[in-house]
Amino acid sequence: MIKVNKFKKDLNKLGNIIVISAPSGAGKTTICDAIVRSDKNVVRSVSYTTRSPRKGEKNSIEYFFVKETEFKQMIKEKRFVEYAKVHNNYYGTSKDFVDKTLKSSKNVLLEIDVQGGLKIKKQYPQSCMIFIMTKNLNILKQRLISRNKDCTETINIRLKNAKKEIQCLKKYEYLVINDNLEKAIDSVKTIIKSLKYKIIANQNYFI
């Protein structure tokens, strides 16, 4: 019989996984930077990638930049909680980092593509799934151009992929349109704050 006498004070709380996905250029990095700066309880996972560093990017800060052979070895050793090929490069999330962060009761922020996001949702159904988009594809194109970090060919691949990524939108839980940056950051902060009140399956709330 389920006992409902008393609310359990010391809930055995794991952190939450927050997945933020968006077509390239929609502003997810800018928004994630603001979130981790303002909320000490949110820790960003640094992914592994076979993509070359962009100007100014440093190993272990934006990504762990690895060769394809090393990445494939890590796949064999099951060191990724998810990985995917995105815009012709491999990207993956460290399983060890995710598990350790959740155990420390912190929220782990995964800034990953939709393929990876959906793999995470399958393994961790309680994950908070946020999709970021601009008002339209023209604005997305303008942001990719003015970011000035990718060549025209890369921008075109990313815009083509954006259309496919938007089709996965309905598999996410929250949509934030990044028109005004401050408002978009506030919206994501509000979603994250609400996680504190989320009911977790398999958690005993009463003793």
Show the site string, 71-110: x = touches ligand ADP by CB under 6 A, - = not. ----------------------------------------
Stretch in the footprint of ligand ADP (CB under 6 A) among 27-35, 42-50, 96-104, 121-129: 27-35
Show the site string, 103-122: x = touches ligand 5GP by CB under 6 A, - = not. --------xxx-xx------
Show the site string, 155-174: x = touches ligand 5GP by CB under 6 A, - = not. --------------------
Site for ligand ADP in 151-190 (CB under 6 A): 178, 181
Site for ligand 5GP in 39-68 (CB under 6 A): 47, 51
Residue 26 touches ligand ADP, criterion: CB under 6 A? yes
Encoding tokens for residue 133? 């988009």
Number of residues that bind ligand 5GP (CB under 6 A): 15
Least Cβ distance, residue 12 to ligand ADP (angstroms): 35
Residue 29 touches ligand ADP, criterion: CB under 6 A? yes
C-alpha closest to that of 102 among 124, 84, 80:
124
b/e per residue 153-187 (b: at least 16 CB within 10 A): eebebbbebbeebbeeeeebeeebbbeeeeebbeb
Least Cβ distance, residue 117 to ligand 5GP (angstroms): 7
Q: Which is nearer to ligand ADP, 139 or 195 (CB)?
A: 139
Residues that bind ligand ADP (CB under 6 A): 22, 24-30, 143, 146-147, 178, 181
